[in-house]
C-alpha cells in the first residue's frame, strides 16, 4: 500500500489534487490549517494506487507519495 503524506501546514486548499485524483480519494479536511485553509487529505488509503497524480498537480509540492517496495520471490 502506498503512503501519501500531505504537509497540511503548507496546503492552500486549491483542490487541484482533489479534482484530479482518479479514484476520488482526496478530500478537503473539516479543520482549518495555520494559513486559514481547509487542507487536503486522503480517505480510504487502502484504495490508493500510488499513481501520484495528486502530487504532480500540487503547485506547492505539499504532497509526497511513496510506493511500497514489492518483494519478488
Q: What is the pTM of this model?
A: 0.84
Q: How confident is the model at residue 1 (pLDDT cuts 50, 70, 90)?
A: confident
Above 70 in pLDDT, residue 73? no
Tell me how far CA of residue 56 lies from CA of 32, 36, 38, 73, in angstroms: 23, 23, 20, 32
Helices marked H in the chain: 16-20, 53-57
Distance CA 17, CA 20 (A): 5
Distance CA 25, CA 35 (A): 23
> All domains of the chain, ordered by start, with CATH?
3-62 (3.30.70.20)
Distance CA 25, CA 2 (A): 13
Q: What is the pLDDT of residues 15-50, one digit of tens each?
A: 999 999 999 999 999 999 999 999 999 999 999 999
Amino acid at each position: 500500500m502506498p503512503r501519501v503524506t500531505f504537509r497540511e501546514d503548507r496546503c492552500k486548499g486549491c483542490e487541484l489534487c482533489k479534482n484530479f485524483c482518479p479514484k476520488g480519494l482526496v478530500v478537503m479536511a473539516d479543520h482549518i490549517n495555520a494559513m486559514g485553509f481547509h487542507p487536503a487529505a486522503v480517505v480510504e488509503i487502502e484504495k490508493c494506487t500510488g499513481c501520484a497524480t495528486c502530487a504532480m498537480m500540487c503547485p506547492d509540492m505539499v504532497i509526497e507519495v511513496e510506493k511500497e517496495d514489492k518483494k519478488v520471490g
